[in-house]
Structure 1
């Protein structure tokens, strides 16, 4: 198989490239080089896909599959899909659950209502992201029709996660001491490991699947308690978990997702992100979700390869996550 990956050097794109190489495929990547070079054995083209001149490097070649993980202005997806429609067999687009109309009903599937596109965006980061992904989906289907595959994902975890969610929990667990854990411990989590997503994506493309799929683990694949226990085991830390009621956290202004990563309280607008019907993806027979312990351990192992001065950048720790001072104040208030 001849595979073109647009990007291919960071997180999901990197996992796709690694998986394709294990299959012995012929892999080409187009990237700016910002996230470093691709693995050995890959043909690397350097360029900015938003620059028409750079994008034209792809003209005149043929690929069996194209993988695109773009998350910004959908004009970039429209340009690449339009250019490649006559020379690529299938276009595989990593989309998002954000394209559904929120709040969504628990247990929603691929037939759930979608967000209207395009719609005005008034400075809301989530709505801007939803418009980017909805526009990307539209561009792929306009150019490739039934040769387009839309992998709608929610929370993605695994090594090389530059977003910083799982790395934050691992680094916090390694620090030890009294740790604020957002209750309840048995709240189910639903996500996909980047490597499992990559494996499903390439197999689905090879099989000629098309249309939308919710590509996530089954509901309740793990729990918040299961995730934090896995983090403690992986780091070997001595942190003592104090489970704090979600109503208390909300009353004290703790921001779900953006301040305390991965946590979504039951009443949150996006709470159904952990109750998604992913049976269509599982029915393909191609989705194999590894245990939470494997995802956590591999992510911790990767963090150990980073120089201390690179963790903030490469593992997403520059974001305004919960600070040690605020955590201590919240724990004191909770005990009181």
Structure 2
């Protein structure tokens, strides 16, 4: 298979290129080369997708193109200039307008209003992804649209699961660690390597359809216990309710003074309970969270400047003191 990866040097797109190469495919990656280098064995075409694609790409024939962009202008340009028998577009669950309904997915949840133009406002991310999806649906004769949830694993630049891995490597046996919400609250993640392997499988099979790419929902206490086990840590969790966290100025999801993986319930129940069965039936396999945590820890050990988000150690101590 001749696979074109629009990206191919960072996190998910690089994992896709790596996986395709390991399976014996001919891989071309397109990037500016500013964020990383392509994997060994891939052909690298240096290009800025905000300007017309270079001659080396214009009219290129490939079997499958994989695109992860969130900018409609880039997707529109790629569709106009490339010839691919099949497209795999990596979107996001951020395209959904309903974040409250549990167990939803393609066809059962309303989408945000699609944005056909690029925007620099982070709040427009989901609308731009929806616009990119529409361009793919209208412009690619054969395509799959993949909507990942929270992607984790080595190389994660968001720092969300990384927060918990980093926290676990500082735990001494029996240390009290702040944990968010109700221990039974469901959460979902997907390891970047599992997602990449599945994207290549979709490409090989020329699978068509729209899928939420995510693991099965599970109680957050189970996920955190598995993260701790993967890191060889034995913490004591101090669970704090949404109201308690809000009362001491902790914010959800990510960013300064946040507790990653926490989303207020029930307003965001749907965000962490997407229907995983269709993707699983289409070949998606997911590894144990403990393995993801172990490998993320190994990556952190050799990547001291990896992205961080969430509470600082001093902030966590302050919050625990205030909660009593």
TM normalised by structure 1 equals 0.88
- Structure 2 residue aligned with 1:97, among 83, 93, 96? 93
CA contact (8 A) 1:175 1:239 kept: no
The reply to whether residue 278 of structure 1 matches residue 276 of structure 2 is yes
Q: Secondary structure at the match of 1:57?
A: coil
Partner of 1:114: 111
Equivalent residues of 1:174, 1:237 under 8 A apart: yes
The structure with the largest helix share of the pair is 1
- What is the aligned counterpart of 1:168 among 156, 163, 168? 163
**Aligned partners of 1:81 and 1:245: how far apart in 2?**
47
Question: Could you tell me which of 148, 151, 158 is aligned with 2:146?
Answer: 151
Deviation at 1:58, TM superposition (A): 0.9
1:61: Cα distance to partner?
A: 2.2
Q: Distance in 1 between matches of 2:132 and 2:5?
A: 16
Moved more, 326-335 or 258-267: 258-267
Deviation string, structure 1 residues 217-260 (Cα, Å, up to 9, x no partner): 1232xx32223223323333464432222221123232110221
Looking at structure 1, the residues matched to 48 and 118 of structure 2 have their Cα atoms a distance apart, in angstroms, of 26
RMSD, matched Cα? 2.2
Name the SS of the counterpart of 2:50 in structure 1.
coil
Say how many residue pairs are matched: 317
In 2, Cα distance between equivalents of 1:234 and 1:197 = 20
**Do the aligned residues in 2 keep the contact of 1:15 with 1:198 (CA within 8 Å)?**
yes
Q: Is the 8 A contact 2:101 2:269 kept in 1?
A: no
Q: Provide the C-alpha distance between the structure 2 equivalents of 1:288 and 1:322, rounded to a whole number of angstroms.
A: 32
Q: Distance in 1 between matches of 2:45 and 2:119?
A: 36
Residue ranges of structure 1 left out of the alignment (5+ in a row): none
CA distance in 2, matches of 1:283, 1:242: 37
Q: Deviations over 1:262-319 (max 9, x none)?
A: 1123233x331111112222222x111111111111111122222x3xx2xxx322x5
Aligned to 1:265: 264
Q: 1 CA distance for matches of 2:115 and 2:44?
A: 34
Cα distance between partner residues in 2 of 1:53 and 1:2: 19
* Deviations, residues 155-199 of structure 1 (Å, cap 9, x unaligned): 111111111111111112222253211132232221211111112
- 8 Å contact kept, 2:117–2:128: no
2:204 is matched with which residue?
A: 206
Contact 1:81 1:91 (C-alpha < 8 Å) held by counterparts: no
Partner of 1:42: 42
Secondary structure of the corresponding residue to residue 279 of structure 2: helix
Structure 2 CA distance for partners of 1:293 and 1:278, relative to 1, 3 Å: same
Residues 152 and 225 (structure 1 numbering): CA distance in 2 closer, same or farther, change over 3 Å? same
Q: TM-score, normalised by structure 2?
A: 0.91
1:194 corresponds to which residue?
192
Q: 1:247 — aligned with what?
A: 243
Q: Distance in 1 between matches of 2:9 and 2:117?
A: 32
Q: CA separation of 1:42/1:119 partners in 2, compared to 1, >3 Å: closer, same or farther?
A: closer
Per-residue deviation at 1:123?
8.6
**Runs of 4+ residues deviating >4 angstroms:** 119-124
Of 224-233 and 272-281, deviating more is 224-233
Q: In structure 2, what is the Cα distance between the partners aligned to 1:280 and 1:227?
A: 22
Using the alignment, how far apart are the partners of 2:307 and 2:302 within structure 1?
A: 15
- Corresponding residue number in structure 2 for 1:292: 289
* Cα distance change, pair 150–42 in 1 and its aligned pair in 2 (3 A): same
**Counterparts of 1:66 and 1:300 in 2: how far apart (Å)?**
32
Residue 104 to residue 205, structure 1, CA distance change in 2 (3 Å): farther
Determine if the alignment matches structure 1 residue 328 to structure 2 residue 317. yes
CA contact (8 A) 1:107 1:276 kept: yes
The Cα shift of 1:328 comes to 1.5
